Amino acid sequence: MHSLTEENYLKAIYKLLEKGEKKISTTAIAALVETAPASVTDMLKKLAEKKLIRYEKYQGVTLSGSGKKVAVDIIRKHRLWEFFLVEKLGFSWDQVHDIAEQLEHIKSEALITRLDHFLGNPKADPHGDPIPDEHGVFHALNTIPLSAVTVNVPVIITGVIDHRPVFLRFLEKEGYALGKKILVKEKLEIDQSVTLLLSGSKKLKHISHDVARNILVLPEKTK
């Protein structure tokens, strides 16, 4: 069995690998797990010992097969719990991450199997992030940022890139939510800002490029 701390390190490494690079630095991990780089080095030695990562000093780190499995399993649990918190307990999407950070470490295969079934085997969490199945397979949608959408082609909101509560609360206040329809009316050349119609409202909305690129969408009715 792995400690809660080990799980968090593996998850951090996984998230860093997910965003591009093949080799992950000590400092990047330190920032994510909020510890001193020296502490990260200690843990990397331990994880390498256990064959959960591949690590050679000064050369960065990458996940082994078993390490990746642990990381994906934690992510699965995190997202299932987030879904539960929003759909069953009525939390809003900006409140669930910290609680899920705790719940993701509960150890019981049966619990997750049953929770998954109870929730109707959801495919995405409240932020649109895909929930891997019990084999660790992701069924990710082929989303694009709202900033890249063609004018006058209707799209559906399917997720966010920025997960900060302050951003999520802003979106909620403005009426944006997963499943909502958006029709982009204009993209301003000068600053890449977007003018759009949000389903349910007749008033044009205007958002910056920076907001638009943090909203993920899909063209309406993809089969």
Burial class for 113, CB neighbours closer than 10 Å (0-12, 13-18, 19+): exposed
Q: Does 102 bind a copy of itself (CB under 8 A)?
A: yes
Nearer to DNA, 38 or 110 (CB): 38
The only residue of 111, 148, 153, 204 in contact with a copy of itself, by rule CB under 8 A = 111
Q: Does 43 bind DNA (CB under 7 A)?
A: yes
Q: Does 42 bind DNA (CB under 7 A)?
A: yes
Subset of residues 6 to 45 that bind a copy of itself, contact rule: CB under 8 A: none
CB of 190 to Mn ion, least distance (A): 34
Q: Does 125 bind Mn ion (CB under 5 A)?
A: yes
The only residue of 68, 97, 180, 187 in contact with Mn ion, by rule CB under 5 A = 97
Q: Does 35 bind DNA (CB under 7 A)?
A: yes
Place of tokens 């999520």: 168
Stretch (H or E) spanning 30: helix 26-33
Q: Does 121 bind a copy of itself (CB under 8 A)?
A: no
From the list a copy of itself, DNA, Mn ion, none, partner contacted by residue 125 (C-beta under 5 to 8 A by kind): Mn ion
Nearer to a copy of itself, 20 or 90 (CB): 90
Nearer to DNA, 14 or 55 (CB): 55
Q: Does 106 bind a copy of itself (CB under 8 A)?
A: yes
Q: Judge contact between 136 and 76, C-beta under 8 A.
A: yes
Residues with Cβ within 8 Å of 112's Cβ and at least 6 positions away in sequence, in order, are 76, 77, 80, 134
User: What does the DSSP assignment read for 91-159?
Assistant: --TTTSHHHHHHHTT---HHHHHHHHHHTT--SB-TTS-B---TTS-------EEGGGPPTT--EEEEE
The only residue of 32, 48, 99, 197 in contact with a copy of itself, by rule CB under 8 A = 99
d(CA 147, CA 125): 22
CB atoms within 10 A of CB 122: 16
Site string for DNA, 50-69 (x = CB under 7 A): -----x-xxxx---------
Return residues touching Mn ion (CB under 5 A).
82, 97, 125, 127, 129
